[in-house]
Structure 1
């Protein structure tokens, strides 16, 4: 990429260079950034579940979004109407990602400025939001000078590329950024993107302001509850402390009174003894008796007074204990009332959850009931293919450039059936060709067949080339395949990372297992990076010549339970890749199934048709831009052969039948679909072009 973008060469474009910089940044935000956020949304919420997730979070989103037009986009009338990500602008996409998708926030939090070096998903999205704010700061003058423009552009490009690398792989969005950097802008296009960006800016600012007010009110309410709870706790602790201090004071007073009384008694006793000792000796006996009586009387009085004092002390202690128990009962009652109120709130929450769950279940049932309805199809044209009577495979370059193959011929035709360029000899009844992301044809070509001795005998070795044809008609070999007893049947060029996916079957016997290999690297140095053959219980190892290793008796390897490991493929004859999640989808004719593995080769599922299908014989297979799978297959019913095209979601769940025709009228072996939901269906010597009203 050069230092600054080239000026528009359109004659009608009269904006200054600074104004054109501003227009390019507006277009980058409105197109590439918005499309990227839609793809992130589909990664965290499947398109089929978007309506359900929005309804689940309806209360939160309506509190945040106050604009009626935006509310109607998310919750259109009647209730339960479908919502598509492509109908949502960047404002609503950011709001849903922030409040619904539960994206992890390891460092950067939503609405905050990310730290340098933080490449988490939330940090990258927030940097796009911050750069969008920097762009909007220039909207009063509508101009951005080159230094500021280049800084903002590079920041956006780096974060777009980081998101794409983390979630999807490839560089499709980086290429779109580079194309937009160097493309020409007309004055009308520039004004259109500036107006759309300004509307998007106002809408996002409104949503952020409403979200801040909403969460501010929530936080203030929680702080108020915490302050009230702390105040009650302090009051209870203060009351208990005052009661304990009062009891300690009463105990100290009781101890002091008893001590003083005993001292007075002792003093009285000493005084009486002194008086008695001074009496006349003659009256000693009489006095002694009297003293004894007096002493007994005094002791009895003292005892009575002590008993009364102890009873008074016991009564006072009982009274204080009773009052303390009353306070404890009041505290217990208060705690019980609070617990009952919390239990009531929990019951209300449980009731609301049950109501919402029942409503969602009914909605899901209604959606399931509608799955059996046909999607509306519109026949737009029919293309007659010359010199081919059995169309086996179709690869789309553009709507006016189609590569079509039969059992022995491969040629390019336009939308009227005219042959473009020179046809190629091509002996392949399956998906033997594909179109790369650059629009180049990649096809399987038979090279030669040789005999070579091995272990004292002769063994066949098949040699095939994988060739590339560019737009000028030149052919370049990419890979030479030399595998014993294996023949390549189908091929697909990944539009995610440029890898080649090739399906192989046994040359002589249908009973031997097939394989799928992934090739990666430069045109002159491509290498196998994955050999997919077994299910998730384990992969077999290959020897130096790429053959299956056998045990000492020449048998296939067994697992720990003594059972033969399950092979994934028997006869893969059509192959494609899901551009949404990277799954590899193979149509296996001998296994009578669609075999789907993830991008690493781990088996996900087999689709073997509907329970009502008598048989399931799959042929051509492809995926659309939403990740749905379209498969052509045959079925025998009461002596009549029917051909169908069925539509599945990316998890193998049946959605609907797109075609269902008898053999006498319709013999569908192959089909493909482009990014505009246009389906090209091959039968006999024609191609029907139909539009799927999605």
Structure 2
């Protein structure tokens, strides 16, 4: 299958140098971060709120069903900022040695999924921890239930599809997908397999397609929910050379793509290769 992106709008985001991660609040408001700054912006690129002191990683923020921002700070604590941007609460305190790397609030359960890692004996080790709304650990996903091997090494982004599969972008392990119970479903390492995938931002669309940025091919790749490759969508236009941040708007069926090399976010409609109507 061939898909292409039709540009709807290009936004220059005030207050960031790169667009490493995008968290959608509504159809016209998103949080966007680089390594230092976290900006609430709109489709005009206005700086509506500005936070510093965030974790210098990638998928370090998310928004819960109440619209509160949840983010990892530079001390590895996980904080919640109220929708009016006035009240900050620490909901999960950092406990060594496991360092939070990325965070995602599940729209279906309200749980908080946190990708963690630590460095020991010359290598990184990763795991995924599920917390309930009060910050209690209710699940840890770390090993392949069939082989006993570790699933993650360096998780950087997390998302879910509509049936609760947990999808992780891991620098060392590619895309790793488990079901809600933690059983390994599949891992994806590029098309063809082993072709040098360098996964970055990740999201799912209304049909549970997986969309991910690949820094190797500088493209957005699309998979079905079973991990089958559907399409590679090159993005070398409209000031996006190196797609990195990614978010999908289910309401308007639009894909937000952020650049690693500048403060540009493009908003696209995904259409099949033969369609002029955007079905």
Query: TM-score higher than 0.5 here?
Result: yes
CA RMSD, Structure 1 to Structure 2 (Å): 2.0
- Could you say what secondary structure the match of 2:208 adopts? coil
1:427 matches 2:2: no
1:583 matches 2:165: yes
1:657/1:531 CA distance change after superposition, 3 Å: same
Deviations 1:641-686 (A, max 9, x none): x301011111111111233439x96111121101121111101211
1:394/1:668 CA distance change after superposition, 3 Å: same
1:527 corresponding residue in structure 2: 136
Distance (whole Å) between structure 2 residues aligned to residue 491 and residue 508 of structure 1 = 22
Cα pair 1:374 1:658 within 8 Å, conserved:
yes
Deviations 1:397-437 (A, max 9, x none): 11321101001111111111110034333232310000112
1:334 corresponding residue in structure 2: none
1:513 matches 2:96: no
TM-fit CA distance, 1:487: 1.3
2:177 corresponding residue in structure 1: 596
1:465 matches 2:39: no
- TM (norm. structure 2) is 0.89
- Could you say what secondary structure the match of 2:45 adopts? coil
Deviations 1:452-473 (A, max 9, x none): xxxxxxxxxxxx3211111211
1:362-511 matches, within 5 Å, as 371=1, 373-375=2-4, 377-447=5-75, 464-473=76-85, 474-484=87-97, 486-507=98-119, 511=123
- Could you say what secondary structure the match of 2:151 adopts? coil
Distance (whole Å) between structure 1 residues aligned to residue 126 and residue 166 of structure 2 = 15
Cα pair 1:587 1:619 within 8 Å, conserved:
yes
Structure with the larger strand share: 2
Distance (whole Å) between structure 1 residues aligned to residue 65 and residue 129 of structure 2 = 19
1:245-256 matches, within 5 Å, as none
Distance (whole Å) between structure 2 residues aligned to residue 427 and residue 606 of structure 1 = 27
- Could you say what secondary structure the match of 2:55 adopts? coil
Distance (whole Å) between structure 2 residues aligned to residue 521 and residue 493 of structure 1 = 10
1:680 matches 2:256: yes
Distance (whole Å) between structure 2 residues aligned to residue 628 and residue 594 of structure 1 = 13
TM-fit CA distance, 1:510: 6.8
- Consecutive unaligned residues of structure 2, counting only runs of 5 or more, are 271-277
Deviations 1:140-194 (A, max 9, x none): xxxxxxxxxxxxxxxxxxxxxxxxxxxxxxxxxxxxxxxxxxxxxxxxxxxxxxx
- Could you say what secondary structure the match of 2:25 adopts? strand
1:652/1:379 CA distance change after superposition, 3 Å: same
1:655 corresponding residue in structure 2: 230
TM-fit CA distance, 1:504: 0.7
1:632 matches 2:213: yes
TM-fit CA distance, 1:498: 0.2
- TM (norm. structure 1) is 0.37
- Could you say what secondary structure the match of 1:482 adopts? coil
Distance (whole Å) between structure 1 residues aligned to residue 44 and residue 99 of structure 2 = 34
1:214 corresponding residue in structure 2: none
Cα pair 1:409 1:427 within 8 Å, conserved:
no
1:612/1:489 CA distance change after superposition, 3 Å: closer
Deviations 1:11-70 (A, max 9, x none): xxxxxxxxxxxxxxxxxxxxxxxxxxxxxxxxxxxxxxxxxxxxxxxxxxxxxxxxxxxx
Cα pair 1:615 1:634 within 8 Å, conserved:
no
Cα pair 2:101 2:117 within 8 Å, conserved:
yes
Deviations 1:628-653 (A, max 9, x none): 11010122xxxxxx301011111111
1:268 corresponding residue in structure 2: none
Cα pair 2:220 2:233 within 8 Å, conserved:
yes
1:655/1:518 CA distance change after superposition, 3 Å: same
Cα pair 1:510 1:590 within 8 Å, conserved:
no
Distance (whole Å) between structure 2 residues aligned to residue 435 and residue 510 of structure 1 = 34
TM-fit CA distance, 1:509: 7.1
Distance (whole Å) between structure 1 residues aligned to residue 118 and residue 59 of structure 2 = 16
Distance (whole Å) between structure 2 residues aligned to residue 630 and residue 507 of structure 1 = 29
1:542 corresponding residue in structure 2: none
1:574 matches 2:157: yes
- Could you say what secondary structure the match of 1:379 adopts? strand
Distance (whole Å) between structure 2 residues aligned to residue 615 and residue 500 of structure 1 = 30
Cα pair 2:15 2:47 within 8 Å, conserved:
no
Q: How many residues are paired up?
A: 267
